[in-house]
Structures are given as C-alpha cells and as structure tokens.
C-alpha cells in the first residue's frame, strides 16, 4: 500500500510531503477511480490504474498511476510511475479585473 501523499512526493508531482498533505486537505487533489471522483485524503491508498487530478495556483494536471514506487526513485526514473493525461496552465490573475 502506498499513501497518496508519498506517491505525489516520490514521483515529483509535488515537491514535499507536507505540500502534498496541504493540497489534499485544501481539496486540490481528486482521485478518479471506478466508483467516480472523490476529494482525496493524504493518508488514502493509491492504486495502479487510478487517475489523480492536482490543481495548483498555476496548473491543473491529471495523471494515471502506472506503478507504485516502494521508495523514492531516482529523478530520471520518476516518470515511469505515471502517465500525464492532461495538463493545463492556469493564469492566477485571470479573474482580476480593473
């Protein structure tokens, strides 16, 4: 079993475990599985085949889990654990009007 916050950290999708936990607590991480979408919890188990959507202030990315790392892989090996399904840049100032 691999916790979601550790998967995000080990794959480099989010740089630190504390940032991954905060993103989950703030509702910015969504797990998409056979039973539908649900807001993720940091301690939740992630499984091969699930999709994860992460929204930060500057981007929205959706990935499919291909494999689960047992420990932190080398930086060059990280991409083999997930496949990017969509990635969108977000302008954090788009909703500001003057």
Radius of gyration in angstroms for the set of CA atoms belonging to the chain, rounded to a whole number: 14
Residues of the chain with pLDDT under 50: none
- H or E element in which residue 87 lies: strand 82-89
pLDDT of 90 reads 86
- For the entire predicted model, the pTM comes to 0.87
Closest by CA position to 55, among listed 8, 1, 2: 8
Segments making up each domain of the chain, as ranges = 2-89
Choose the CATH number for 2-89 among 3.10.290.10, 1.10.3720.10, 3.10.620.30, 3.50.50.60.
3.10.290.10
């Amino acid at each position: 079993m691999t916790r979601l916050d550790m998967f995000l950290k080990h794959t480099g999708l989010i740089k630190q475990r504390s940032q991954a936990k905060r993103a989950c607590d703030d509702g910015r991480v969504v797990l998409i599985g056979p039973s539908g979408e649900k807001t993720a919890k940091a301690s939740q188990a992630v499984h091969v085949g699930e999709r994860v959507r992460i929204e930060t202030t500057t981007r929205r990315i959706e990935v499919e889990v291909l494999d689960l790392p047992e420990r932190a892989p080398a930086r060059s090996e990280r991409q083999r654990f997930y496949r990017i399904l969509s990635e969108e840049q977000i302008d954090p100032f788009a909703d500001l009007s003057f």
